Chain A
Amino acid sequence: MNKTDALIIGAGPTGLFTAHQLKLIGLDCEIVDNLDKIGGQCIELYPDKPIYDIPAVPECTGEELTNNLINQIKPFDIKFHLSERVDELRKEGNNWIVKTNNGTTFLTPNVIIAGGVGSFEPRKFPVKECEKFENKSVFYSIKDKNIFKDKIVTIFGGGDSALDWAVELSKNSKVNLVHRRDDFRGAQATVDKIHELSKEGKINLFTKYQMTSIKGNGQLESIEIKNDNKDIKNIKTDYVLGFFGLIMQLGPIANWGLNIDKKTIEVDTERFETKQKGIYAVGDICNYPGKLKLILSGFHEGALAARACFKLARPNEKYRFEFTTSSKTIKNRLGVKSD
């Protein structure tokens, strides 16, 4: 059981800055995120897109913003639990017991939900029957590439994941690559490589095709793909891989007895607390009159929620507001020299 003053769900910009604010006022915190990396939407959806409305930062990309926020919390020792999704939350006395899908548990008086629009999950095939084969012969990520050796693998998608795996697996497997249009959005060098391998007959390329059905009795046998001109092809395959990026799902948060409307959680604007004491929501996932879904709003919300956490984490102490420019205590926490 991990004991902490506050548990933050979500390692996007709001979660990271909230952690900074908690540590600055002397509270411990840990962060859980379902992605395998830090940065949330900034890193998953738009790492290369420039952002122009971060105060005092005229222009930065999602990746740069994330790296700057990570640098800003470097002075502190903050434990991240990546690739873990919070599944359960229950009250015990004055604390919350929080459990992730990996079985990690936390005991904490404060839970701050900085979950954006939910946790990122892979987008799946529209063909419903694919579910029957999921994690047996239909995969949305690869854990062990050796299972594909000397097998027929059909890969769907046009981004870097699909193309990189097509190139890699073509060394030891028979690879079919299926994509809905002629253009690929992956790196040009990889796209060139794909066309080269296709010419050499090492990859079977099917563009403008999408999956229409999947067949097999327990064991996957074949799939059917169709193009815009209604031409149907039957492909024998042992494995099917789909790389359609990730989508955000609210997931278990919906079951925690919070006021949820249109995938957002209602909070007050003083503590950013939900209707459950000790559970806060900040960033894109919270809602209140006048809410703006801006990163800068998330920073403000996190700063206030962090102060609210103090009361429950240190019931016998009084929180005293201090400036980073003048407070010796804060400078000690940051590990910088006082004047």
Chain B
Amino acid sequence: MAKITYVTNDNQVHTVEVQNGLTVMEGAVQNDIPGIDADCGGGMACATCHVYVKENWFDKIAPKEDGEEDMLDMAFEPKKNSRLSCQIIVSDELDGLTINIPSKQS
């Protein structure tokens, strides 16, 4: 179990507990947090669960696979700290993780 904080583009802060093994995307969808569409349902095929990971956390989470970087090419306003939230798996180590949701997914 980890506390994950989602900050929307208009600075609404949602902190929720997400079970280990779920993804950061699933944590948002299951808790009705707006701004993460996840159209493909976690298949790394759509880039609509794009988030920005706070710099101090970026290096602590498992690095991107090739496919994720390819999908990020299509994301809306990708930055250096961009990730697909369907590829970040929650564990105790991620307790306190903060992610920012972009203004749009498409």
Contacts and interface: CB of A to CB of B under 8 A. Distances in A.
A247 interface: yes
B74 A45 contact: no
B39 A247 contact: yes
Contacts of A26: none
A181 B48 contact: no
A183 B69 contact: yes
A176 interface: no
A185 B73 contact: yes
Contacts, number: 52
Contacts of B37: 263
A157 interface: yes
A117 B80 CA distance: 29
Nearest to B106: A247
A244 B73 contact: yes
Give the one of A124, A247, A284 with max B CB within 10 A. A247
B76 interface: yes
Interface in B38-77: 39-41, 43, 45-48, 69-70, 72-74, 76-77
B37 to A, nearest CB: 8
B21 interface: no
Interface in B75-103: 76-78, 80
B2 to A, nearest CB: 24
Interface residues of A, number: 26
A284 B37 CA distance: 14
B33 to A, nearest CB: 12
Contacts of A263: 37, 39
Interface string A14-58: 000000000000000000000000000100011001000000000
A158 B69 CA distance: 11
A185 B48 CA distance: 19
Interface string A246-259: 01110000000000
Contact of B73 (A45, A181, A248): A181
B6 to A, nearest CB: 17
B38 to A, nearest CB: 10
Contacts of A284: 41
A91 interface: no
A228 interface: yes
B106 A123 contact: yes
Contacts of A181: 69, 73
Contacts of A249: 106
A180 B73 contact: yes
A293 interface: yes
Contact of A244 (B39, B69, B74): B74
B74 A248 contact: no
Interface in A117-154: 117, 123-124, 126
Contacts of A247: 39, 46, 48, 74, 106
A185 B82 CA distance: 17
Nearest to B103: A126
A180 B74 CA distance: 10
Nearest to A44: B45
Interface string A59-75: 00000000000000000
Given A45-B45, A181-B69, A228-B80, A245 B74 contact: yes
B73 A159 contact: yes
Interface string A225-247: 00010000000000000001101
B35 to A, nearest CB: 13
Interface of B: 37, 39-41, 43, 45-48, 69-70, 72-74, 76-78, 80, 104, 106
